[in-house]
Structure 1
């Protein structure tokens, strides 16, 4: 029974970590899109390229 509990806790921990990682990735992606929009509005080509490259690495 103890081995099953340890396994369950490990799986629960892994699932929580995966959910957390996905939430962080989604948040960062949305922030990058906002910054890309600002760079486009400002005509800042360098920032636009930097942000699109960062977005590519996230996906």
Structure 2
């Protein structure tokens, strides 16, 4: 029986640390995305075209990570 278990296909294990890192990365990404949207709205309110383009470029880069 032990021999049978040795031949079983090995599946990758997600460790607690890796899982925690993934959750944290997702939370940081969501927070920054929300923050960017607020800053984009502010740049539109004050008519800061240059800042608007900087922020939307960063937002597009973040969206590509999803």
Q: Give the TM-score taking structure 2 as reference length.
A: 0.73
- Which sections of structure 1, spanning at least 5 residues, go unmatched? 1-7
Which has a greater percent of helix?
1
Of 22, 25, 35, the match for 1:21? 25
Q: Partner of 1:43 in structure 2?
A: 47
Cα distance in 1 for residues equivalent to 2:46 and 2:18: 42
Which is bigger in relative contact order (C-alpha 8 A, separation at least 6)?
1
Question: RMSD across aligned C-alpha pairs, in angstroms?
Answer: 1.2
Show CA shifts across 1:3-56 (max 9, x none).
Answer: xxxxx7x61110000000000000000000000000000010000000000001
- Which sections of structure 2, spanning at least 5 residues, go unmatched? 1-12
* Aligned length, in residue pairs: 51
Confirm whether residue 57 of structure 1 aligns to residue 43 of structure 2: no
Q: Which has the larger radius of gyration?
A: 2
Q: Give the TM-score taking structure 1 as reference length.
A: 0.81
